[in-house]
Amino acid sequence: MSGHVTEIVVFAVLFLAVSGMGFVAARWRRPDDLASLHEWGLGGRKFGSWITWFLVGGDLYTAYTFVAVPALLYGAGATGFFALPYTIVTYPLVFLVLIRLWSVSHVHGMVTPADFVRARFGSPTLALLIAITGLVATMPYIALQLIGIESVLKTMGVTGDLPLIIAFAILAAYTYQSGLRAPALIAFVKDSLIYVVILVAVIYIPARLGGWGTIFDAAKAKFDATPAPGDGYLLNAGNQLQYVTLALGSAMALFLYPHSVTGVLAARNRNVIKRNMSALPAYSLLLGLIALLGYMAIAAGIKPITAGGKADANTVIPQLFDKMFPDWFAGVAYAAVGIGALVPAAIMSIAAANLFTRNIYKEYIKRDATDAQEAAVSKIASLVVKVGAVLVILLIDPQFSIDLQLIGGVIILQTLPAVALGLYTRWFHRGGLIAGWVAGMGSGMLMLYNIANPATNHAHFGGSAFQLSKLGLDTKMTVYVGFLALVVNLLVAVIGTAIARAGRLADGPDTTRPSDYFADEGDPRVHEVELSGSH
């Protein structure tokens, strides 16, 4: 640790300064009363274009993204570039969906995707499944933010769990006090730091390494020397389908996550969302530059930190910064990663807490809960969620957490028929959607269970690339499990709906109206109908 004093001081000062902003955020644009989910959990639904751009960008491009994407290129090569097409494809897709979700949510006072499903299909059971799915898919993502901070602390020689626990205790405190306003305010600093660090890195580091030609030659030499299935400087016949389906599946999954929806529902009007869906692809340019850090690490001869005989690939990029940057700027870079964990972790915990409060507590425990009671329960739930995330890291092998990140997309994709398609059609029967969810989730978990990863000694849940040969096909190609599971889900939902319609089985009431999906700021219907009325 003695050789990292400057880095630790710079990191600590910036981290604490930004944390202080989190507490001050409670007074930023403060309403008369924070004691409601609309204020605490959605910032009063009044964020404009700039705030929403930083908030949603800070939510989707997390600290783990800045560590894991280049680490994937470092270890697997071209496959890691799947993050680029998926973040480009996703915005046109969600442009079609989120504007409608914003409108109907504002008319009915909805806070979560499960609220919409409850009103649209009149099924508390289906809404509960959507809520549980969101909670399960969100939890490992909160834990994964810890990995980003942990990788930086390891590189600076800070060991033990206490610093990690303190960091998340601070996060828990200001999230409890300020709600969504905290990450919204911090996101400005977080994104500014990230942009500065990455732009400096892609100019300064290649210059020190001898140019981009040297970097790409080093990466090619590494993968040519260590050929492995699914790895390589370029895609090969075995992983091309996996690459395409992973990119498309991830694009469809991204804005189904509760924390993504939370950032969008906090927008002031439909035009704010339109502008953001048009501007957010700018982050994809940044992501492409971030990904190339993985090849820079190869050229720089970086090796992962090894502890207990196990190499931690997440430390590759922090070590690159440590080797290539002056100590003071390395500290700034570490702070950018650490602060980059605070924004998404706060939004994720708020989104998960809102799901529990609205779709479990209010639906099944206290149906007559007041706004103040809902806010109080959400605050406590957000603390519990963070404690659970810390326990995931402390009690489970971090490599398994990486596997959970791959599983997260498979899980949340099973909400697509009810949430995304439900915004456009009421054709699906609630029974068919429930059957589809069960089939998609079951098949997805079964496929994931049967994927081994000998490199990490995992016999099960070793990744998300499913071999088509296991389905009896004569091929070495693999495919993203989430994509296959979603196909199963949709097929069963369609068949189940056809059977239910043919049998004239009772369907739940739809308490939304076609005009609700086009309502905008200033519309007299907005907030006129409370969600409790649709229960």
Report DSSP letters for 296-340, one per residue.
HHHHTT---EEETTEEEGGGHHHHHHHHHS-HHHHHHHHHHHHHH
Amino acid, res. 497: T
| Domains observed in the chain | 2-25+39-520 (1.20.1730.10)
Predicted confidence (pLDDT) at residue 535 exceeds the cutoff of 80: no
Segment 238-255, tens digit of pLDDT: 778 888 998 888 888 888
Q: How many Å apart are CA 107 and CA 528, to the nearest integer?
A: 7
Q: Please tell me the predicted confidence (pLDDT) of residue 528.
A: 43
What percent of the chain is modeled with pLDDT above 90? 25
Q: At what angle are helices 63-76 and 327-356 packed, to 10 degrees? A: 110
Residue 90 backbone dihedrals phi, psi, to 5 degrees: -65, -35
Segment among 142-146, 154-158, 222-226, 305-309 with least mean pLDDT? 305-309
Segment among 234-243, 285-294, 454-463, 486-495 with least mean pLDDT? 454-463
Mean pLDDT of 469-474: 80
CA distances from 216 to 7, 202, 204, 212, 395 (A): 29, 13, 16, 6, 39
What average pLDDT does the chain have?
A: 83
Q: How many Å apart are CA 155 and CA 150, to the nearest integer?
A: 9
State the residue for tokens 């993203």. Answer: 480
Amino acid, res. 288: G
pLDDT tier at 529, thresholds 50, 70, 90: very low
Segment among 24-33, 100-109, 118-127, 292-301 with least mean pLDDT? 24-33
What percent of the chain is modeled with pLDDT above 70? 89
Supply the pTM of this predicted model. 0.88
Predicted confidence (pLDDT) at residue 398 exceeds the cutoff of 60: no
pLDDT tier at 532, thresholds 50, 70, 90: very low
More reliable by pLDDT, 216 or 368: 216
In terms of Cα–Cα distance, which of 128, 162, 172 is closest to 389?
172
Q: Which residues pair with 473 in a beta bridge?
A: none
Segment 138-186, tens digit of pLDDT: 877 787 787 788 888 888 888 767 777 787 788 778 787 778 888 888 8
| Per-position b or e across 174-195, b if 16+ CB within 10 A of its CB | bbbbbbbbbbbbbbbbbbebbe
Q: Please tell me the predicted confidence (pLDDT) of residue 486.
A: 96
Q: Please tell me the predicted confidence (pLDDT) of residue 254.
A: 84
Q: How many Å apart are CA 272 and CA 383, to the nearest integer?
A: 30
SS3 assignment, position 479: strand
Q: How many Å apart are CA 514 and CA 236, to the nearest integer?
A: 47
For residue 404, how many other CB atoms are within 10 A of its CB? 20
pLDDT tier at 213, thresholds 50, 70, 90: very high
User: Are the CB atoms for 174 and 25 separated by under 8 Å?
Assistant: yes
| Contacts with 372 (C-beta within 8 Å, 6 or more apart), sequence order | 33, 35, 36
Q: How many Å apart are CA 432 and CA 429, to the nearest integer?
A: 5
- Give the tokens for residue 179: 């709600």
pLDDT tier at 320, thresholds 50, 70, 90: very high
In terms of Cα–Cα distance, which of 193, 147, 143 is closest to 21?
193
Give whichever of 252-261, 401-410, 446-455 has the largest mean pLDDT.
Answer: 252-261
Amino acid, res. 263: G
In terms of Cα–Cα distance, which of 90, 119, 124 is closest to 104?
119
Give whichever of 42-46, 71-75, 352-356, 383-387 has the largest mean pLDDT.
Answer: 352-356
Predicted confidence (pLDDT) at residue 448 exceeds the cutoff of 50: yes
Amino acid, res. 270: R
